Structure 1
Amino acid sequence: MKKLAVFALLLLPFIGLAQESLIQNVNGRNHFKLNGSWNYIIDPFDNGYYDYRLNENPNGFFKNRKAKNKSDLVEYNFDTSPLMVIPSDWNTKNGQLFFYEGSVWFKKDFNYAKKAGQKTFVYFGAVNYDAKVYLNGEKIGEHIGGFTPFNFDITNKVKDGDNFLIVRVNNERIPEGVPTINADWWNYGGITREVLIVDVPEVFVEDYLIQLEKGKYDRIVGNVKLNEKVKGEEVILTIPELDIEEKLTTDENGYATFSIKAKPELWSPENPKLYEVVFTANGEEVKDQIGFKNIETRGKAIYLNDEQVFLRGICIHEEAPFRQGRAWNADDAKVLLGWAKDLGCNFVRLAHYPHNEYMVREAEKMGIMVWSEIPVYWTIHWNNEATYANAQQQLSDMIDRDKNRCAISVWSIANETPHSEARDIFLGKLASFAREKDNTRLISMAMEVTGQGNNLSKVEDNMNKYVDIISFNSYHGWYGGTIEDLAKRQWEIPYDKPFFISEFGAGALQGKHGDNDEKWTEEYQARLYKETLAMFNKVDGFAGTSPWILVDFYSPRRQLNGIQDFFNRKGIISNNGVKKKAYFELQDFYKKKAAEYK
């Protein structure tokens, strides 16, 4: 009963409550962060949210009640509860919560000085999974989804002086969720990304888009959108290095478009050029770093800025290097992407959900193209209307946050989904939605191999007509088949489109050595890499790959004692940061590919 009640509440944001529009580039606004120590209360029975009849309690923990005298009964106390550093996940911060799935309440006290003529928002980078947010004892909103940002207008609720923010976080997996109940990564619970208080003018540039016109190199196009439908507002766009200063005037919808003749230096992995771009309106200056590029497919090849490119990639989970737990800051991103760069990558697949914004921005600075994905993973409930609405909202939020990041080259809508008519309808709608929101990036998804036998593997998927790249995962030699088969295996991919191997790999415990036909050894993993790359390199249309995966990561599905110990060991770097033999095998292949595509 409780699970059903929870899911009924989960539906609300998608069937009744409108989600507030995301503020573009919050770190470019006037803001302060609520990072640091938060009090927390573990609540496995949701005692702070429901009464004993499982009705929502109007006097739950969010009221932050204090005992008024010695005879007053209050069965919780945030002020004496333990502290947890936010952003983080509770699984690695408290050993008792390593496997915990349920509710935890977080409270942060903060002081605020109100100013006339401005609006104030609270912004969350991500909370996993069901967030209910209260300010000074009053509910201000809720959000579903563990990897996308959200914000709430608190202008009329924040007080001059002392305030307290309380968040009920619930990470229980449910079959109707996105992701669904079954996944191969750790279900980290908590406020996993930064929390900001953001101040803006009463009328402000809420959103903007700036990029090269599709297929052209001499025109910059885009738009700005105010938070209100105000006509006649002036917005000034400047790009100092290009001597651009453009005065824009909003229409009755608070919207303005622009098309400016210019020929910027193009962004590429070899030359990750970024320009300072400034939007000014009502006394607010919003600065961003923007790059300009074009990416497209022609037949069975991918072209970046009119030059054919091979995507030398690697998959990455949002798992912190060395310490485990959720990665969330620029330092984590620099380590992970630094390893990828040293590997010879010009591309990363950020699996299986949108990663934190630092990861995308650091990739852009380092000259690494990005595949960004929503967690439509395995056995989603294809016929559930609310599940689709959830997936579409996450796709929309992912694109809205990162549409100005030129490093983003592929929007991915799914991973390893079983074929059915309902699935094709679901994913077809998502692909069309993504294309409508952004027609300048490539659309893809990680498909599966559909037939194997007699030394022939096939890839057939009805989604072929929606995607730009035929991407699929192939684990021949690890999940089925033998490593000896790889040398003679043939492939049938009946589409005039480039194909991309979104995953392949094998598990290896770092430091375990043996013959190259012994599983779990570094030698076996390295051999599988060598044989797999040689196999696909002979197939027409091979346009890139992102092997699985850069670093070993926590997964509750991986229990083999003494080998896995709740780690997926397919990393080519150990969880302690030690490179395995397969790392150097892939590095050597990428050196040859880089020379081939110069």
Structure 2
Amino acid sequence: MGNKILTVFFICVCIFGANIQAMEKEHSPRIIKLLNEKWEYRPISTVGKKALFTPVAIPHTWNAAPVEGTTLYERKTMVYQRPLEIAEAKEGKRFFLYFEGVNSVAQVFLNRRTVGEHLGGYTAFCYEITDLVKQGENLLEVWVSNAYRTDVLPISGDFNINGGIHRPCYLIITGEDCINPAFYASPGVFIHQDNISDKQADIRVKTLLSVKSKQQDLKLKTTITDAENKVIASNEVPVTDSIIEQPIRIEHPHLWNGKKNPYLYKVTVELYNGSDLEDRVVQRTGFRYFKVDSDKGFFLNGEYLNLYGFCRHEDVAGRGSALLLEDYQLDMELIKEAGATAMRLAHYPHAEPMYDLADENGIVLWTEIPMCGPGGQAYTGYVGAEGYKNNARQVLKELVYQKFNHPSICFWGICNEILVNDGKKFIEYDNPIPFIKELNNMYKSLDSSRLTALATCVEQSYYIGTSDLIAWNKYFGWYKDAAPSVSKFFDDAYKAAKGTPVGVSEYGAGASINQHQWPLRIEDRADSRFHPEEAQTYCHEGNWEAFAKRPFLWSKFIWVFADFPSYMRMEGEVEGYNDKGLITRDRRIKKDAFYFYKANWNPEPMAYITSRRFTQRTNNLTDIKVYTNLKEVTLYLNGVKIGTMAPDEIKRVVWNNVRLAEGRNVVRIEGKSGKMLVTDDCVWYYFTK
């Protein structure tokens, strides 16, 4: 088979969130005020002047929990409002409102006058309000709707759409001349590459200006500093247009090298009027290049990097998608603990902190627009209406411009499980292929430095040629297929792809931490109310054993990082819940399968006894399975040595048919890493029926 290589050289920077942090740390004429407090909200149907509002701070969502007694959740319209105090004199100032995300449709009003409308809940938007705002107190009002609409993505999906102002909001104050914050709510600064290597980095810093004054002595200065804050390059040019490009060369750059060395530079772009500083935007930067080889997988800076990790939804117990900074930080610590090298941010653009944390920790990202379907369910996820297409085009531009500069992003996602009209099984659906091709071309026109990807759950031949990469959502061992069939399936997909790199965008199985079974009886568990934790580990072991032997798979993404609510699910221990997470929704319990991957992905010495929550036993003969990356471990039962074994190629040790004593049983394992003793233990109870 011919070898098709897709090569990319590029440089990226972190945007608005990092920019705000930098502004807080060093003097700048640009003022950024966080507007997360003093909000209140009520249903739009309560129109009386004396109708009560409920005080709230944002990020906020009104439907983190389902309607009591159902799996459904509220999809309606709420009114949020807060006072907006303007202490500064307006003369010579410009004022902008910046929302990181309002789900799903936002209509913004200031002093009862329309500011603008934004369609889509997972991208930022920014409006200038200079002509509407007054000095003193103003009333800021946002009408928020998460109702079903075919002109707002997503129109369907296997997850809940939390309504609300679920990401932070800011007031930005600049002078008359500024670096434009309103261009698709981007930083207004984009860093393009011409050539990146370990010898030199040739880049062009593109800055978008918004000039209102008649000053003739404007100039733009761009400075690059390293991790020690040492200036390593700079460029200063007169302002002759609203778009300025500055070429800069950096000799012997430190490359952003994933988890090995996620090295970041700082780019400072300053607008001067003579010697007076008018505006400043600060970005962080990573230099790197990469490629995907259809036979050998992903290469970062010329070296093979095995891409594996989780798909992740923005959801946490009690808050839904209205996450706080500590939620993102906790998730990143868990991602690092597992040893993941990559993440797929499903199925929409995520909030800024996750991209910043990925930059800082060297996690490679696939990020996508919310053009997704629920696979084999009743709805396609795609309609051919022009309103739908326009929203997809808009969100794509917002995603690219807002996240363009993050070094962690390698892949732009086009769609997920959008079913093709094949003239047979799916003949009733609008054919999405022409539009998928259009979106692929849009990505390439806006950013040719990255690769495009899509995820499919049906015949790949219809999608070959619509994106650079293709990946599969397949659940071997869960939906009727047996785990060993994964090998044949992906070998066949690899051969049929004709040089298009093939990856795995989703795989996994459900599990309840309260349901257990031994001996394990594997059957079609997809629609069952019984999702034993042991079945999840069985599926993951079988899949990973096959994936590990196939380096041509450019990605391996587990579905899913943590359990999350989904109105359409009627299975498992709790209805309205997708329990395929390797961590519980509250992040308190890591399931057995999490430790399977930790043993395979994280070199930190560990040993873990599986089925530890299966505490009440009615069978006195059981297998005892351990996940470990040690050379060998020793098993003790009630203080008696059972034996010492070395793990197999997927870091698994199994003692078969171990006999439990009547009553309480203490299971303990020990192993050594150098001089360090590694142990784990749990307690099981066996009682005769």
TM-score, length-normalised on structure 1?
0.83
1:109 counterpart = 2:118:
no
Change (3 A) 1:304 1:485: closer
Aligned to 1:8: none
- In 2, the alpha carbon distance for the partners of 1:152 and 1:40 equals 21
Structure 1 position 258, deviation (Å) = 2.1
Matches within 5 A, 1:244-323: 244-268=233-257, 269-282=259-272, 283=277, 284-300=279-295, 301-320=297-316, 322-323=317-318
Q: State the secondary structure of the residue aligned to 2:400.
A: helix
Q: Is the 8 Å Cα contact of residues 232 and 251 (structure 1) preserved in structure 2?
A: no
Alignment gaps of 5+ in structure 1: 1-21, 49-74, 451-458
1:338 and 2:333 aligned? yes
2:263 partner amino acid? K
Give the 5 Å matches for 1:497-516: 497-515=500-518, 516=520
1:328 aligns with 2:323: yes
Paired position in structure 2 for 1:33: 34
Indicate which of 223, 226, 234 corresponds to 2:206.
223
Provide the secondary structure at the position in 1 that maps to 2:357.
helix
Q: How many residues align?
A: 534
- The 5-angstrom pairing of residues 414-563 of structure 1 reads 414-420=415-421, 422-450=431-459, 459-462=460-463, 464-483=464-483, 485-486=485-486, 490-493=491-494, 494=496, 495-515=498-518, 516-518=520-522, 519=525, 520-539=531-550, 541-560=552-571, 563=573
> Quick check: which has more Rg, 1 or 2?
2
2:348 is matched with: 353
Q: When the two structures are superposed, what TM-score results if normalisation uses the length of structure 2?
A: 0.73
| Superposition deviation, residue 416 in structure 1 | 0.7
Matched-pair identity in %: 27
Instruction: Return closer, same or farther for 1:24/1:346 CA change in 2, 3 Å cut-off.
Output: closer
- After superposition, residues 117-136 of structure 1 pair within 5 angstroms as 117-136=92-111
**Structure 1 match to 2:150:** 175
Does the alignment pair 1:152 with 2:152?
no
Q: Distance in 2 between matches of 1:23 and 1:503?
A: 30
1:388-403 map, 5 Å:
388-403=389-404
The question of whether the paired residues in 1 share the 8 Å contact of 2:233 and 2:248 is answered with no
Structure 1 residue 25 displacement after superposition: 6.7
Counterpart of 1:100? 74
Larger helix percent: 1
- Unpaired stretches in structure 2, ≥5 consecutive residues: 1-14, 24-29, 181-187, 374-379, 422-429, 526-530, 605-628, 630-648, 650-689
Following superposition, the deviation at residue 263 of structure 1 comes to 3.0
Aligned residue number for residue 369 of structure 2: 374
> Aligned pair in 2 of structure 1 residues 232, 395: CA closer, same or farther (>3 Å)?
farther
Give the superposition deviation at 1:285.
Answer: 2.3
Distance of 1:472 and 1:251 partners within structure 2 = 49
| Cα distance in structure 2, aligned partners of 1:35 and 1:93 | 22
Aligned mates of 1:191, 1:302 — CA distance in 2: 37
Q: Which moved more, 1:259-268 or 1:208-217?
A: 208-217
Alpha-carbon deviation of 1:481? Answer: 2.0
Structure with a larger share of its residues in strand: 2
* Equivalent position amino acid for 2:313 in 1: H
Q: Tell me how far apart the structure 2 counterparts of residues 122 and 523 of structure 1 sit (CA, whole Å).
A: 50
**Cα separation, partners in 2 of 1:76 and 1:26, compared to 1, 3 Å:** farther
State the Cα deviation string for residues 240-284 of structure 1 (Å, max 9, x = none).
Answer: 335212103333344334242433201122111111221111322
- Tell me: CA distance 1:23–1:587, structure 2 relative to 1, closer, same or farther (3 Å): closer
Q: For residue 439 of structure 2, give the secondary structure of its aligned residue in structure 1.
A: helix
- The Cα shift of 1:537 comes to 3.2
2:19 and 2:281 in contact (8 A); partners too: no
Residue 189 of structure 2 is aligned to residue 208 of structure 1: yes
Candidates 49, 57, 62, aligned match of 1:90 = 62
The reply on whether 1:565 has 2:575 as its aligned counterpart is yes
Contact 2:292/2:554 (<8 A) preserved: no
Q: Distance in 2 between matches of 1:555 and 1:486?
A: 27
Deviates more, 1:310-319 or 1:169-178: 169-178
Per-residue deviation, 1:164: 1.1
Structure 1: how far apart are the matches of 2:246 and 2:383? 37
Structure 2 CA distance for partners of 1:556 and 1:95, relative to 1, 3 Å: closer
1:166 correspondence with 2:141: yes
Structure 2: how far apart are the matches of 1:110 and 1:95? 33
Deviation string, structure 1 residues 329-374 (Cα, Å, up to 9, x no partner): 3211111111111111111111000000111111111211111111
| 1:248 and 1:258 in contact (8 A); partners too | no
Q: 1:171 offset after TM fit, Å?
A: 0.6
Pick one of 50, 65, 68 that aligns with 1:77. 50
> In 2, distance between residues paired with 1:387 and 1:354?
17
1:194 aligned to which of 164, 168, 192: 168
The answer to whether the 8 A contact 1:188-1:325 is kept is yes
Equivalent AA in structure 2 for residue 221 of structure 1: R
Deviation at 1:226, TM superposition (A): 0.5
CA deviations on 1:110-138 (whole Å, 9 max, x unpaired) are 31123332211001001011110000111
Are the aligned partners of 2:77 and 2:144 in contact in 1 as well (CA < 8 Å)?
yes
Q: Letter of the aligned partner of 1:238 in structure 2?
A: T
Structure-1 residue corresponding to 2:411: 410
Find the aligned partners of 2:306 and 2:322 in 1 and give their Cα distance.
28
1:233, distance to aligned residue in structure 2 (A): 3.3
SS of residue paired to 1:131:
strand
Question: 2: CA distance between counterparts of 1:392 and 1:257?
Answer: 29
Q: For the residues of structure 2 that align with 1:138 and 1:95, how far apart are their CA atoms?
A: 34
Report which stretch shifted further, 305-314 or 468-477: 468-477
Deviations 1:31-55 (A, max 9, x none): 11110241212135xx75xxxxxxx
